[in-house]
Structure 1
Amino acid sequence: MDELEFALETIDGQRFEDFSMAFLREEGYEVHESGGAGADGGWDARIELGERNGIAHASKRKDWKRKLRDDAEKVEQLEENRDEEYDLLLFVTNQRVTGQQELEMEDEIQSEYGWRLKLLHRDNILGELRQNHQQLAEKYLDADLQRDSDHIEEIEELVQDRLKQIRNRDGDASEIKSGPAVVLHIIPNGIFSKRKVKSAGKIPDPPILYERHSYPETRGKSTIAYGNHLGSDEKHSYGLFQNDGLYESVSTSAIIAGNGGDQWIRGAIQSGAGIGLDAHIVLTTRDVVSKLAKMGFSGSAFVFLSFLDASEVKLDRPNQGRGIRLSHPSTFGTDFYTTEYGTVQIRSEEVIGDLEPILSEIWRQFGHEAGTENIENGKWDRGSYTVNGDTLLEEGDR
C-alpha cells in the first residue's frame, strides 16, 4: 500500500465527503452540495451531467453495499418529497469494489428504482488522482504525487554516499569495528522537499539492529546510540536519527563466526539462538516509523537494506521443524549490495507486507529463489518472539 492509497483509506468522514464533491466537479459534474446532515445522513449533493440529474452520496463505511442500499431508499423518498424525478445515483466510496460487485449493484439499482448507478470506488479514484487530479491528492489527502519521482534519485544518492562512508569507517561509522555489516536506512519521503519537516523537539533514541540495549547521545542535529557485543569494549553497531527524519543503523553483530572461519547470518527465529534477519528488520522498522510519527512526520518512508563486505557470508536457514542447518548454502557473493527501495507508512505498524519484497531480494541473493520463508502473503508466517511476557512478533502479524 503506497502513501496515496493509505491516505485514502484512513481519511475521516467529513473530509472524504469534501474530497468527493471536489472530485466530482473535476470529473465534469455540476455539484450542488446539500449543506445537510453530514456524510451519513440525508443527501450529500445534487448533481447534473449533461441531460442527466440525480443525487450523489459519499461514504467510507466498510459495509458499502448496505450503505448504498440505505442511501437509495433515502433518494427515493427525496424524489417523492420534492416531486422530482432522478435518473442518476452516484455513490463514492473509498472501499475496494470488484468488477462483478459493481455490475450486480448497477443491475439492482436499475431494476428497483430505474436509475443509472455510477459507482466510484477506490481503484478508479486512485487511477484518476494519479493521472488527472494530482492537485486533489495534495489538497485533501496530503499526498504529493510529484515528490516520489522528484526526489527518489536524490535519496538513492544519499544512501550510496552514506554506505561509502560506512564501508570506509568514516563519519558516524568511524568507531565501528571492521568486517561485514548489515545496514538499514529508513528515510521520509519528503526529506528533500521544499515543504520538508524537521523535528523541533527532542530527537528520540534510535533503535539499533541486533541490539536491545543502547546508550544514546545527542549531537546537534542527530541522536546516535552505540551497541556493544557480549561485553566487548568495541562498538559493533549503532543507530542514528537525524532531525530531518533520516534513520540509519549499522550492525556487525548480525554476522556470526562459525566453525572453520565461516560467516553466517541467521534467517529465521531459532529458540535460544536468535530471531534472524527478517524479524530484526521488521521490529526495527516498526519502532522507527512509530518514532518518526512522534517527531511530526507523516506519509511514506523509503526503506533500503544493504550488505557491506559480506561476499562470504552464508544464510543460516534451518529446515522447518527440524532445527538443523541446510548443507552447502550459497554465499552472498558481493561486497556492496543495496536492495531496491521499499515504502512503508509512517503512521502504520503494518509493515511486514511492505518489507517482504526487499527481504525476499536478500534471500534470493543468498540463492533461495522463492525469497523469504518467514512471510507469506504479507503476513508473518514462521515463529514468534516474546520478551518479558510481551509478544513482539507472532504468526499472522502484518
Structure 2
Amino acid sequence: MIYLDYQATTPLAPEARDAMLRWLDGPGGTGFGNPHSPHRMGRQAKAAIEMAREQVAALFPAGGKVIFTSGATEAINLAIRGSGQDGSVSVSAIEHAAVLDTARAAGSCHVLNVAQDGQCDTRQDLPADTRLVCLMQVNNEIGTIQPTVEWHRKAKQHNALYFCDAVQAYGRIEVTGADMIAISAHKFHGPKGVGALWVRDGVGLEEVQTGGGQEFGLRSGTLSPALIAGMGAAAAEAKDRMEQDREHIEMLWDMARGLFADWTLNGSEEARWHGNLNIRRKGLDVNRLMSDVRDVMFSAGSACASGSGRTSHVLEAIGCSKAQAKASIRLGFGRYTTQEEIEQAAARINMAAKEQGL
C-alpha cells in the first residue's frame, strides 16, 4: 500500500516508539508508575514527562508553558472555553470543525471570510466586542499558510486574544505569533491520544475539566508517560530534521505537480505547505476513484468529515461549487514518502480517472 494521507495522521517515528517502550512496562518493570505519585517510580515517570515538556516547548516561541492534553480537540476546547465567555469569537471560515463547532457552542461567533486562494485577509473588520480571534496556521484540507503574525497584531489592537490551531504546522514550519497554540502529536510522527496547548505567559485561563487539578490546575486527569515521552521524542526529531524534511517534501511536491499537471489546484500554490496537494478534475467521481485505487491511501477531503456526506466547508469557502468540491481529492506526503510511491500513486490515480472518461 502507498500512504498519502499525512494530514489525517503520520507514521509513528521509530524514535518516538523507542521512547515510549520503557513506560509501557508490565509486572516486574519500573516504568508503569503514576507520574502524580510521590514515590520513586512516580518521580521517574514525572521526570520523563518534564523532559518531554521541554522537547515540545523547544518548537514554540519563548515565554510560555506547555499543557498536555489528550489531543488537539481538547486543547482547542480549553483555549476557547477557558479564555472567557464575554464577547465574540472571530474564526476563519476554513477552520477545523473542532474550532468552528467549539466557537459556536461558546457563544457569539463571527466568521471571517477567506479569498479564493485560501488566505484570510487582516483588512476585515472585527466585532467591537471580540474577545478571541481564531485562525489556523496551516489549513488541514488545502495546506494554505495564514499570516498569523499579522492576525496576532490585529487581535492585540482590539484587546483580544489570538488562538492558533497549529496542528498541521508544528514540526514542519516555525510556529509564531499567538497567545495560545494547539497541537497534536500524531500529526508530527508521534502517537495518537496526546496533544498540547501552549499558553503565552500572562494569559489567564479557567479550567474546563475539573478533577485532580493536574497540569497547572487547568487540565485534570492522569498523564500518560508513554504517550508524552513519544510526543517529546517526535518533537525533538522534528526539530533536528526540519530543514531536511522540508527539502524532501519540496522535491516530492515538484514531482507531484508535474504528474498531476492537468488537474486544477485548490488554494494557493505559493502560500502553502507543499506536503498538501488538494486537486480536482471536472466530472470526477471520487468514490469510484477511491474504490478503483484501493492500494493508495488518500482523502476525498478532511479525514474528520469523511463518510459524512457533507461538502467540504473549506472548498466551498474558497469559492468551489459543490460539484467542484465533490470532484476534489487530497494527497498528503511527508518524511517517509518516496519518489517511487509518488510516481506509482500518480500513475494509478490518473489511469483510474482516465477510465472514467476524464
Query: TM-score interval w.r.t. the shorter chain?
Result: under 0.3
Taking structure 1 as the reference length, the TM-score comes to 0.23
**Structure possessing the higher relative contact order (Cα contacts under 8 Å, 6 or more residues apart):** 2
Bigger strand share: 1
Taking structure 2 as the reference length, the TM-score comes to 0.25
Structure exhibiting the larger radius of gyration computed from Cα positions: 1
